[in-house]
Amino acid sequence: MVSMRFEVWAPRARRVWLWLEGARLPLREDAGGWWRTDAAAGPGSRYGFVLDDPQGPVLPDPRARRLPEGPEGPAAVTDPGAYPWRHPWAGRGLPGAVLYELHIGTFTAEGTFDAAAERLERLAELGITHVQLMPVNPFPGRHGWGYDGVAPWAVHEPYGGPEGLARLVDAAHGAGLGVVLDVVHNHLGPSGNRLPEFGPYFTDRHHTPWGSAVNLDGRGSDEVRAYFAGSALAFLRDFRLDGLRLDAVHELADDRALPFLAELSAAVDALALEVGRPLFLIAESDRNDPRTVAPRERNGLGLHAQWTDDFHHALHVALTGEAQGYYADFARAPMAALAKTLTGGFFHDGGYSAFRGRGHGRALERAATPAYRLVGYAQTHDQIGNRALGDRLTAQAGPARAALGAALVLCGPLTPMLFMGEEWGAGSPWQFFTDHQDPALAEAVRQGRRAEFAAHGWAAGDIPDPQDPATRDRSVLRHPAAEDHRELTRWHRRLIRIRRALLTPGQPLSAVAVRYDEDERWLTVCHGPLVVAVNFSPDRPATVAVPPNLLTLLAATHPVPPTAPEAGLRLPPESAAVLTPADGREVSGPW
């Protein structure tokens, strides 16, 4: 036992006590709403805080690093710096990255960090550079997506707690993999969120789909910003992460002159200099706002990249023909939509969106925006799990068409990302599942899910019950015993090898050239020394326009001549080819 400092920001409290292993000790009030005391404790000591009434309930520390009994139980003292790291790590930046999104709870049947760590070598062999973990902050129950976490500084105990996360990151580094963590700053809970009892963490001045917004711009917002930024920096520093994916930043209501995201990106850049390794932030944003990835010195937010759903939607329509909901805007001219997202990042760049019933977005400055700042994908947890049955792309379009999508994702100009199991065409669905402990909330989620899809013609009995343990079990990956012998896996591996061997990160979007034929349903994208040609037609061969004197590096589905003739490249139906100039020149300019 040693003397330790315990402190909590509770500006609304009249008095505060520290609950430490059953004892209640008064805290002294300091400036700015902080309460502090020193007490003897050691690793594993349980503690919490009591507000106003000395016999009141014990609340978990908002900055708890470990919550062994769940998000509403007492915290445990832990030393984030005590983990004995085995593998030195100089960091791995975003340029040149190949990301792999995975969910700890369903990546393996065990659903733990340690079980996931045993699978990392295969990802390294595939050519992945970074695993991107879905949220790992504590949430009520055992199984869930993680976006209802309530303790932004802690790690979900059923996954293995903070030591388990450290072991996973250490194992990843040993395999040469970086680690990116998905974090949620736009809401907490709703179940188990005790922050409002401590202070003005939320505000009714703004509202989000989850209720009151996080208070980023009202009274007390300095401390709220410091709370969320501090948790982000702590994960990057203490767990030696390489980056963070920021969930739904468009729901961060913020009217201050200095946006929270710009403040956070500056802090992350400063931490990168301090620790001597590259760090990055990837935003999920529905705004299509160029300021998201523009540098702070140009009045941007300074985030290092963002997901581009527009590319996904255009690619999905081209592969599946689906045209409902937000896909409708892309279905009018799928090849043109795909070409626009490959060369400009955004499809919605100020024009009218029929789905939204208004204009949407603004154009990126193509010459000033490196293509790697946009993350492109054919599948994500959202785009699979928010379907009624959680069906994957291979179930919707078949493995041959999934291979076409992989060619554009992995050898296209954007930073590629795969969703777990995509590389072998996993047959298991990935469905929406929860483990809410509050019966009323569980029923509300269940009925809300049924009502949402009933509006699209689904019968209530067809929608998987999120609370049924079988829904999670169906979503667990069934790793093949010999995936090296699967054709789709070999295709992904070879695409990644070509990308990593030939592409030099940093080219701007303006250096990407695309040609297409809407009626014939083919598209060719050229960037750097790579040409990717795709024939989406299910039944018609196509003569595809490509630059002259190319060598075929890789072809899918059918043989392709090794040299592209001057008249164009002949592609069979549902096929793709990756080519490069025989003389090694770049082909991204006009041709």
Q: Is 385 annotated as a binding residue?
A: yes
Q: Is 463 annotated as a binding residue?
A: no
Pairing of strands 358-359, 46-51: unpaired
The residues pairing with 133 across neighbouring beta strands, listed in sequence order, are: 102, 181
247 is catalytic: yes
Q: Is 246 annotated as a binding residue?
A: yes
Among 101, 148, 182, 284, the one annotated catalytic = 284
Q: Is 282 annotated as a binding residue?
A: no
Q: Is 247 annotated as a binding residue?
A: yes
In DSSP notation, 55-79 reads TSPPBPPTT-S--TT-TTS-EE---
Residue with tokens 């349903």: 521
Tell me the three-class secondary structure of 175-225, residue by residue.
CCCEEEEEECCCCCCCCCCCHHHCCCCEEEEEEECCEEEECCCCCCHHHHH
Token pair, residue 153, equals: 């500084």
Q: Between the CA of residue 336 and those of 401, 507, 521, 579, what are the distances in Å?
A: 19, 22, 10, 22
Q: Is 453 annotated as a binding residue?
A: no
Q: Which of 288, 300, 304 is nearest to 258 (CA)?
A: 300
Residue length of the chain? 591
Q: Is 311 annotated as a binding residue?
A: yes
Q: Is 207 annotated as a binding residue?
A: no
Q: Is 329 annotated as a binding residue?
A: no
Q: Is 53 annotated as a binding residue?
A: no
204 is catalytic: no
Q: Is 383 annotated as a binding residue?
A: yes
Q: Which residues of 476-489 are buried (b: 16+ CB within 10 A; e: fewer)?
A: bbeeeeebeeeebb
d(Cα 555, Cα 289) in Å, to the nearest integer? 36
Among 157, 217, 247, 263, the one annotated catalytic = 247
d(Cα 490, Cα 205) in Å, to the nearest integer? 52
Q: Is 130 annotated as a binding residue?
A: no
Q: Is 313 annotated as a binding residue?
A: yes
Q: Which of 588, 573, 495, 581 is nearest to 534 (CA)?
A: 573
> Which residue type sits at 519?
D
Helical (H) or strand (E) element with 383: helix 381-385
Neighbours of 522 (CB within 10 A): 26
The residues pairing with 101 across neighbouring beta strands, listed in sequence order, are: 132, 419
Q: So which residues are the catalytic ones?
A: 247, 284
Binding site listing for substrate: 245-250, 309-313, 381-386
Please enumerate, by residue number, every residue annotated as part of a binding site.
245-250, 309-313, 381-386
